[in-house]
Amino acid sequence: MAECPRCGGELREGEVLARVLTLGAQVMSPLSSPGMLGMPGMGIPNGETKSEETIIWREKTGRKKGWLAKSDEEKTMKITGRRCMKCGYIELYAQE
């Protein structure tokens, strides 16, 4: 099991998501929906309007691609990470 570099706590795996709220999205406040599950301040997504995207890592490989118009070759990787369950420290890494 991986350990937190800061406090030695347990690290739990996760991934980074970008939450994209489209225009016109309506998030019901907990006040207007008594009795519904959910944490305060979290809001309850109204369905349909919510989408999530994974953030990717992009880097230049140092190589050139193309043989007519040369441009920097780039590669993208998915970012995953681990969060310390004790202190909240997040460690990110991009795997090829």
Site for Zn ion in 65-94 (CB under 5 A): 84, 86-87, 89
d(CA 51, CA 45): 10
d(CA 72, CA 65): 6
Do 41 and 27 contact (CB within 8 A), yes or no?
Answer: no
Site for Zn ion in 49-68 (CB under 5 A): none
The tokens for 34 are: 């008594």
CB nearer to Zn ion: pick between 14 and 38: 14
Q: Of the listed pieces 8-16, 32-40, 62-70, 73-81, which binds Zn ion according to CB under 5 A?
A: 8-16
Query: In terms of Cα–Cα distance, which of 60, 50, 59, 51 is closest to 78?
Result: 59
CB nearer to Zn ion: pick between 3 and 53: 3
CB nearer to Zn ion: pick between 9 and 45: 9
Q: Give the residues lining the site for Zn ion (CB under 5 A).
A: 4, 6-7, 9, 84, 86-87, 89
